Chain A
């Protein structure tokens, strides 16, 4: 009898603890990490918070002096007000059949990321304040800082899950023909506004090089000045400027950041959720993706309410800017909507200041959905936006 009572009490305590467990807050780690994983998260956070100087590896070309400079709002891992420049050259007459690819990312000319700042030594040597975009560029894009919450879950989504939503020839004739981007080695891309980058580790490590000028064992060479070599003496830190183990810890921090928790649905938001589906937003902003196998249990076989298919879609000529990999200037990866309730600016360059504006700027493959949104009653439009503001 006593034993049953004790077991019952334990069950009640466990149930109460579960009911009271608060969802992860922004900047928290994923729930359910092991002690070792949590320790790596904490150690990686210290690297994320590091502020680099030229003596510790910053630059000579850079957009920010640390991850935290851009990913700061409202907590580390969030957005920021920095806007950077990407450039490439698109030659649409080139088909790739025996000639050059239509897209030149200007990799031999310092592209596609053109840094907004230079160290004092480089400024003195060349008299420049930022990396000039070469005249070979056919377009310059502006890019806002995305938040990176839940990116570990996106990384754990299997390629097959993403490809299942692809319909490059629009066989179902719904006007939507999502297609994957591919990195230069053929792997499926998923990170970045044009979905060029295949994996989170590379997204992070590439950012160290392209955003901060920090060399690593995987990227042992500095960015050039629009293709010109760096003058002697402007890069005092020996390469690699960050060790592989430090990069791994940084990657662990980003990978284990919990996704933003959605807000509670009001009656209006529930109505808006229905409208979201009725209008067809969910054809590209797929509500839930499922992760596959992962050595980290907290990332393995989990639903992630990302509201994206991670595929490229033609968004029409008004939004078009640069090409990147297979992405043409008007093609963009479906932006994840998780966490959109905290955003103040929308779309890849932040040109929309309201969700209604962002929807109105959808065109191309999204034109039908946009038109159906316009045709909704005022009440349903407001409800749909109210739903978005819970994500």
Chain B
């Protein structure tokens, strides 16, 4: 979780704020979309949250994501209820940073880690 907070802070800090102060108001820029492919660690259906284990080499990371009701969750192209996702499922997630944390835009269930 702390890594998530750190990552969130880094990403949020990367957005320019001072430079826009003297310009006419503009719609906020869309946050960049990130992608992660990994194994579902935890599905919190009531809390609409998901944790995905990923990483690079032996530096493992867990990405915690909020899953709003309008997030597309699919398996083989067909819609899938969040409740059907299970720990150990292999998923590909596109997501972005929001002030409250990472938010999933789309979740695709690819199968299970063998």
Q: Which residues of A contact B (CB under 8 A)?
A: 86, 96, 98-101, 105, 107-108, 111-113, 182, 184-186, 191-192, 196-197, 202-207, 209-210, 218-224, 227-230, 239, 326
- Min C-beta distance of B63 to chain A, whole Å: 10
Bound Cα distance A192, B61 (Å): 17
Q: Which 7 A-B pairs have the closest CB atoms?
A: A206-B57, A229-B2, A209-B59, A107-B60, A185-B37, A184-B39, A206-B59
Bound Cα distance A204, B53 (Å): 19
Task: Verify A210–B58 contact, CB threshold 8 A.
Answer: yes
- Min C-beta distance of A159 to chain B, whole Å: 13
Known pairs A105-B53, A112-B60; A221 contacts B90 (CB<8 A): no
- Min C-beta distance of B50 to chain A, whole Å: 14
Task: Verify B57–A204 contact, CB threshold 8 A.
Answer: yes
Task: Verify B58–A184 contact, CB threshold 8 A.
Answer: no
0/1 string, B1-32, CB within 8 A of A gives 1: 11101110010000000000000000000000
The number of residue pairs between A and B whose CB atoms lie closer than 8 Å in the complex comes to 111
Task: Verify B38–A184 contact, CB threshold 8 A.
Answer: yes
Nearest-neighbor residue (CB-CB) of B114 within chain A: A182
Task: Verify A182–B113 contact, CB threshold 8 A.
Answer: yes
Task: Verify A99–B6 contact, CB threshold 8 A.
Answer: no
Task: Verify A107–B62 contact, CB threshold 8 A.
Answer: yes
Does B110 have its Cβ within 8 Å of any Cβ on chain A?
Answer: yes
Bound Cα distance A224, B111 (Å): 30
Chain A residues with CB under 8 A of B38: 184-185
Chain A residues with CB under 8 A of B37: 185-186
Bound Cα distance A224, B2 (Å): 7
Chain A residues with CB under 8 A of B54: 184-185
Q: Which residue, A107, A203, A227, A326, has most C-beta atoms of chain B within 10 A?
A: A107
Known pairs A221-B7, A326-B114; A101 contacts B56 (CB<8 A): no
Q: Of the candidates A186, A206, A228, A230, which one forms a contact with B58 in the assembled complex, judged by CB atoms under 8 Å apart?
A: A206
Nearest-neighbor residue (CB-CB) of B4 within chain A: A221
Chain A residues with CB under 8 A of B62: 107-108
Task: Verify A219–B87 contact, CB threshold 8 A.
Answer: no
Q: Of the candidates B6, B42, B56, B88, which one forms a contact with A206 in the assembled complex, judged by CB atoms under 8 Å apart?
A: B56
Nearest-neighbor residue (CB-CB) of B91 within chain A: A185
- Min C-beta distance of B88 to chain A, whole Å: 5
Chain B residues with CB under 8 A of A99: 86-87
Known pairs A113-B58, A202-B57, A206-B58; A221 contacts B39 (CB<8 A): no
Task: Verify B88–A196 contact, CB threshold 8 A.
Answer: no
Nearest-neighbor residue (CB-CB) of A181 within chain B: B114
Chain B residues with CB under 8 A of A239: 10
Does B55 have its Cβ within 8 Å of any Cβ on chain A?
Answer: yes
Bound Cα distance A185, B10 (Å): 24
Known pairs A182-B113, A184-B38, A185-B37; A203 contacts B1 (CB<8 A): no
Task: Verify B57–A203 contact, CB threshold 8 A.
Answer: yes
Q: Which residue, B3, B58, B86, has most C-beta atoms of chain A within 10 A?
A: B58
Besides A99-B86, A206-B57, A219-B59, 10 other CB < 8 A contacts? A108-B1, A113-B59, A184-B52, A210-B57, A210-B58, A210-B59, A218-B56, A219-B55, A221-B7, A229-B2
Task: Verify B114–A186 contact, CB threshold 8 A.
Answer: yes
- Min C-beta distance of A87 to chain B, whole Å: 12
Task: Verify B7–A196 contact, CB threshold 8 A.
Answer: no
Chain B residues with CB under 8 A of A210: 57-59
Nearest-neighbor residue (CB-CB) of A179 within chain B: B114
Task: Verify A221–B3 contact, CB threshold 8 A.
Answer: yes
Q: Of the candidates B53, B57, B111, which one forms a contact with A107 in the assembled complex, judged by CB atoms under 8 Å apart?
A: B53
Bound Cα distance A112, B62 (Å): 12
- Min C-beta distance of A114 to chain B, whole Å: 11
